[in-house]
Amino acid sequence: MAELSTIARPYAEALFASVRTEGTLEQWSALLSEMAQVAGHPEVSEVLTTPGITNQQRYELFTGLMKTPLTDKARNFLELLIDNGRLTVVPNIYEEFEALKHQLEGSELAQITSAFELSPEQLNKLVSALEKKFGLKLIPEVTVDAALIGGVRVMVGDQVLDTSVQAQLARMRDTLAA
């Protein structure tokens, strides 16, 4: 959702700028990931958005579900989100934060969907070829979707490379229908 990204981006950018100078990007990445999992859980989200509970109760509920102990900075960040009614946007803040981290590292997330399970050797070969094509260090996230019939679909940022049989059949169908 574009509007959630628009809301999340300033929080992610401010947090990123703050922790980047401290050298704690990896710790914050892990913490935001955990926070996103907690905030993204449907039952937790429902309770957190209930009008009858106070911000203090929201804070206590949220921190009670966290496994990682919060630093002072993390507590302040969480309180800021609660005070501004932005706790449900934490998963989007995490995504924006990760995008900034990857940009700094010169890397990008590659969402690879394959028709079949890829062996480590096949994945390494594919990622190596994709890194040359995109000119970035890629971090693969692989899923399997048998509906592709064969081949792979790769998303890197807003770019899509679809070599699946499903896509080839769709192109043929469109050509024949024209």
Same domain, 152 and 68: no
- Locate 16 and state its tokens: 């990123």
Grade residue 5 by pLDDT with cuts at 50, 70 and 90: confident
Domain boundary pick from 79, 102, 125: 102
b/e for 73-98, b at 16 or more Cβ within 10 A?
ebeebbeebbeeebbbbbbbbbbbbb
Same domain, 2 and 87: yes
Same domain, 111 and 92: no
Same domain, 87 and 141: no
pLDDT single digits (tens) 24-62: 899 999 999 999 999 999 999 999 888 899 999 999 999
CATH of the domain at 13: 1.10.520.20
Domain hosting residue 167, numbered range: 107-177
Number of domains in the chain: 2
Beta bridge partners of 109: 139
In sequence order, what are the residues at sequence separation of 6 or more whose Cβ sits closer than 8 angstroms to the Cβ of residue 96? 5, 8, 9, 11, 12, 13
Domain boundary pick from 66, 81, 102: 102
Same domain, 89 and 150: no
* Rg, C-alpha atoms of the chain: 20
Same domain, 20 and 2: yes
Domain boundary pick from 78, 102, 126: 102
Same domain, 20 and 40: yes
Same domain, 15 and 65: yes
Grade residue 128 by pLDDT with cuts at 50, 70 and 90: very high
Q: Tell me, what's the pLDDT at 2?
A: 57
Same domain, 92 and 129: no
Q: Tell me, what's the pLDDT at 95?
A: 92
Q: Tell me, what's the pLDDT at 178?
A: 80
Residue 135 has pLDDT above 90, yes or no: no
Same domain, 42 and 121: no
Same domain, 117 and 41: no
Same domain, 21 and 51: yes
Grade residue 158 by pLDDT with cuts at 50, 70 and 90: confident
